[in-house]
Amino acid sequence: MTNIYVGQSALRVSARTGTALADIAECEIRYEKPDGTRGQWAAFVSDAERGVVSYDLLGNELDLPGWWRFWVFVTFDDERSAFGDAVKIFVKEEGR
């Protein structure tokens, strides 16, 4: 599936951080909606060796059509933190 739709729930959002993830206290996938609203989802490390962080959509998160921005935020056990680069993804309305 190459398209992402408003209200879609059969979707895992994943991002590769570029570094192995060990000793993680917390990780999030942060976002900015097309209207400028920002938020975050509590994510999980889905592949520590490859540095992949993921979040499984429940169905109500992608509530606006348009360009969304996503990036990763990680906090390590020693309280250091790191941000990932943002990527833009277009979310479509069903039937369009």
Q: What pLDDT, in 10s, does the model give residues 36-50?
A: 999 999 999 999 999
Write down all domains in the chain, each with its CATH number in brackets.
Answer: 4-17+24-92 (2.60.40.1220)
Neighbours of 82 (CB within 10 A): 14
Q: pTM (2 decimals)? A: 0.89
DSSP β-bridge partners for residue 30: 40, 71
The 10s digit of each residue's pLDDT in 53-91 is 999 999 889 999 999 999 999 999 999 998 889 999 999
Distances in Å between the alpha carbon of 44 and those of 6, 29, 48, 67, 83?
Answer: 23, 9, 10, 24, 15
